[in-house]
Structure 1
Amino acid sequence: MLDYSHNGFYALASLAIALIAAFSGLTLTQGASGMRAPVRKVVVSVSAVILGWGIWSMHFVAMLGLDLPIAFYFDPLVTLISALTVILLMGLALLIVHFGTRTRGRIILAGGIVGVAIPVMHYIGMSGMELCSPVYSPLGVVVALALSIAFSVAAFLISYRQRTRRDLLLGTLAFGAAVFAVHFIAMAGTGFVADPDPETIVPLMSKGVLAFGVTISAFVLSGAFLLSGATFATRLDRSAPEAAPEPAPVPEPAPSPGLRLPYESDSRTHFIDAEAVSAIRAEGHYTILYAGAERLFCPWSISEADKRIPKPLFLRTHRSYLVNRDHVTSFERRKDNGVCYFENTASLPKAPVSRSRLRDVREALGM
């Protein structure tokens, strides 16, 4: 086995690349589920490229810091395959969480796919080494895979919990740690032997050529980081409704079956059909709309929402809750109150029913 070591500067640079890619990709998809399908596809595709290319770049920045007593090169085709593989798997994971009803199970599945993609990219890229061959220990492979899946699932669960700034930052740290840790844990379980009869028939990439490519990649990722960082800094954080501007007074029109509810996002007022909202919860002088996996900040108060929305559609189940009865999938009677459940609303699985409103709710639900 050949003796080898890692350059500390390149190790830190690879960690920075992993964090930049994670932040850029995860931030870019914030609010994507509320976009029209064609726009959402573009956003998800770009995010997949940023995250996948960032994982690839992190790996090869770290490989630039690998010091071996002999020269080594990389097969360009194998290197390209490793990059495309991780990009495609990242795209699959993002499609799962941004198309269809977002549930905890889908988020875990997406995180698991990413957890597999990271070591797969690593080992495909390592197989492209020429003039020397990597030798893997089974334990190192298992540990790298298990750690990658654990970190990636955690990153997705955190990032897609409520999509707040705090969640995205914590998800960035978990994702960056996954990519960084997997590489060096896998390398700790890897040895190298010199090829006895090296073949250099195909064009090979030296460390100098690789460094040039990685530098360009880092530059592009940094640009994406700056753009997503600017968006992140100005985007309305839905977890802090008190920071929203005071809504202008509006007249109270008569309720209509086609009523649309306003919500604030990206410094603009958007609208969502009332029928698509499962529940409305009071949040100070404002409210939160729950629709699928989304939590939307509405400038209306709970009292104003109660006046504007047709009563047959929404029920006042609690002083802080209005519930769309068409979205209630089950009801639980407790000692002196109750609970409405929404199996298709990941952002709000249940809503309380107070004692004073228990009879009305049960009658409206046909019980």
Structure 2
Amino acid sequence: MTELIASFSYSPVLVALSVVVAVQAGYVGISLALLIPGAFANRRRLLIAGSAMTLAVGIWSMHFIGMLAITTSVAIAYAVLPTLLSFLICSLVIGVAIYLASLRSQRLLVIAAVLMGIGITTMHYVGMTAVHSVYHLTHDPAYVLASIMIAIAASGLALWLAFSADRRPPLLLCAVVFGCAVSGMHYMAMAGTALQPAVAEAANTESLMSRDMLAAIVSVVACSISAVFMLALIPTQAKDASSETASHAVPSVPDAVAADSLRSGNLPLDTTPPPLPAIRVMTDTDQTSDATSPVVPNLSTGALLLPIEKNGKRFHISADDIVSVHSNAHYTYVFNGRDDLFCPLSISDIAARLPEAMFPRIHRSYIVNLRFVVRIKKAGDSGVVELDTPIRRTVPVSRARLTAFRSELAAFKASTSSESESAS
């Protein structure tokens, strides 16, 4: 370090403000990320974008406020292009990392953590080039490596808490740890940075706005963006239990006799999840059916077929290959382990036609296939079901159905175990 580093000093107030901004970004970003595995279609994309943008804005704002906290003998001026480029890098890299982590693969989670950590570090050092009009910078390689390690660790912590932790600590504690880690990365990198005044030092460019005012504006903007995403994307937890119980009742549907006869047959049970579906393309005869047509029985296998649509084409999917069903407003999606496929039937129609013993309706908007259920985890007053599929997904269980569903799942597991023993 040079003697110029000895004149380095920080405003304690702005340092504390930078940490607070990082903590609030971590709180909102992780809150949104926790909702991604159970979301579908447009809402899933919005949650990924909201989580990534909240984290990116918060992390970038923390670094910018951390730079504003520096007091030097020569006032620091910032070039616009590197400053904006650093924010763009941060937004893109964190967006990709959140998407990869949302696929709930351990390998992709590690890749996402490394990518996110390197992206945060790159954002920092690209942003630092914005001061080259006043200072030339040199960086100690040991501190650079330490800052990269801290950034990767902080990223891995946030992604693991959001997507893989079976038992996570309170969300506020997670946010505090994440915020302190991100802040620690910045100040570790700055500890290894030497500032050498440029030749144009005599110009001593002064900012048109005081650093305290600029830091306050950046903080307010960052917190406002987080608040907008939180209010828009995090659903209210206050639900009328009676309405959920009532909505669980399945209304009568046409072709009740056919539905009852199909319900009476038990689908084959085993403990091994079935292979992902080979979706059958609808024939010309099938194309004449509409959304109100009943589920078609596959006479060769005895399995039910549900109509679905993908890329503008209509298909049928076997009930054995359905992992879960989700109702989103006026649309219904069937999840096959990899994709969310649009189904023209309502969730009530699907519930009436699928065997209830295999496909319980655990929430007014969700049906699950018991063969894919790994575990039930407590989530406040309600619960969350984790599904064993290539793209890991969780599904909410309503408070009114939680106790009964635990019993149903236990009975199902016991039944499959006894059948496996008798078969062997």
Scaled by the length of structure 1, the TM-score of the pair is: 0.70
2:157 aligned residue (154, 158, 170): 154
The unaligned stretches of length 5 or more in structure 2 are 253-259, 264-352
Distance 2:376 2:30 in 1: 27
The range that moved more, 35-44 or 157-166, is 157-166
In structure 2, the residue matched to 1:348 is none
Match of 1:65 in 2: 69
The one of 179, 185, 188 equivalent to 2:182 is 179
Native 8 Å contact 1:147 1:182 kept in 2: yes
Of 268, 278, 297, the residue aligned with 2:373 is 278
Say yes or no: does 1:220 pair with 2:221: yes
C-alpha distance 83-42 of structure 1, shift in aligned 2 (>3 A): same
Partner of 1:136: 139
Aligned to 2:23: 19
Answering whether residue 361 of structure 2 is matched by residue 262 of structure 1, we say yes
Residue 11 (structure 2) aligns with: 7
Of 279, 289, 294, which residue of structure 1 is paired with 2:385? 289
The alpha carbon displacement at 1:54 in A equals 1.2
Which of 88, 95, 99 matches 2:99? 95
Higher alpha-carbon Rg: 2
Q: Does the CA-based 8 Å contact 2:38-2:395 persist in structure 1?
A: no
Task: Report the AA paired with residue 401 of structure 2.
Answer: W
- The amino acid of 2:396's aligned partner reads L
- CA shift, 1:84, in A, is 0.5
- Is the contact made by 2:377 and 2:385 (CA closer than 8 Å) also made in structure 1? no
Q: What amino acid is the match of 2:121?
A: P
CA distance in 1, matches of 2:25, 2:115: 17
Partner residue in 2 for 1:118 = 120
Report the Cα distance in structure 2 between the residues aligned to 1:148 and 1:115, rounded to whole angstroms.
Answer: 4
Q: What is the CA–CA distance in structure 2 between the aligned matches of 1:103 and 1:16, rounded to whole Å?
A: 31
1:57-98 Cα deviation digits (max 9, x unpaired) = 111111111011112211110111111001100100111123
1:248 aligned residue: 245
Contact 2:382/2:402 (8 A) holds in 1:
yes
**Offset of residue 229 of structure 1:** 6.0
Which of 42, 61, 64 aligns to 2:46? It is 42
Partner of 1:361: 420
**SS across alignment from 1:294:** strand
- Amino acid across the alignment from 1:248: T
Give 1:223 shift: 2.4
Contact 2:75 2:206 in 1 (8 A): no
Task: Mark the CA change 1:23 to 1:276 in structure 2 (over 3 Å): closer, same or farther.
Answer: farther
2:52/2:95 contact within 8 Å kept: yes
Q: CA RMSD for the aligned pairs?
A: 3.8
Moved more, 52-61 or 255-264: 255-264
The structure-2 alpha-carbon separation of the partners of 1:36 and 1:232, relative to structure 1 and needing over 3 Å to count, comes to: closer
1:300 alignment partner in structure 2: 401
- For 1:205 and 1:86, locate their aligned partners in 2 and report how far apart those are by CA, in whole Å: 28
2:33 and 2:51 in contact (8 A); partners too: yes
2:33 to 16, 29, 32: 29
Contact 1:25–1:50 at 8 Å: present in 2 too?
yes
With 34-43 and 206-215 compared, the bigger mean Cα shift is at 206-215
Decide whether aligned partners of structure 1 residues 282 and 186 sit closer, same or farther in structure 2, where only a CA change above 3 A counts: closer
How far, CA to CA, are the matches of 2:42 and 2:230 in structure 1? 24
Letter in 1 for 2:21: I
Which of 403, 412, 418 in structure 2 is aligned with 1:322? 412
- Number of equivalent positions: 307
Q: CA separation in 1, counterparts of 2:171 and 2:225?
A: 16
What SS class does the counterpart of residue 219 from structure 1 fall into?
Answer: helix
> Whole-Å Cα distance in 1 between the matches of residues 377 and 78 of structure 2?
58
Q: CA deviation at 1:305?
A: 7.9
Distance 1:30 1:46 in 2: 12
Tell whether the 8 Å contact from 2:23 to 2:176 is kept in structure 1 after alignment: yes
Kept after mapping to 2: 8 A contact 1:24/1:224: no
Matched to 1:15, the amino acid is V
Identity over aligned residues, as a percent? 21
Distance, in Å, in 1 between the alignment partners of 2:135 and 2:28 is: 35
Q: In the alignment, what sits opposite 1:332?
A: none
Whether the aligned pair in 2 keeps the contact of 1:286 and 1:302 (CA below 8 Å) is no
Specify whether residues 42 and 301 from structure 1 end up closer, same or farther in structure 2 by C-alpha distance, changes over 3 A only. closer
Amino acid at match of 2:134: L
* Residues 164-243 of structure 1: pairs in structure 2 closer than 5 A: 166=169, 168-197=171-200, 206=207, 208=209, 214-227=215-228, 234-235=236-237
Letter in 2 for 1:289: V
Displacement of 1:214 in angstroms is 4.6
Do the aligned partners of 1:279 and 1:321 also contact (CA within 8 Å) in 2? no
Segment drifting more, 138-147 vs 224-233: 224-233
How far apart are the structure 2 equivalents of 1:156 and 1:262?
Answer: 30
Helix, strand or coil: the match of 2:401? Answer: coil
1:350 maps to what in 2?
Answer: none
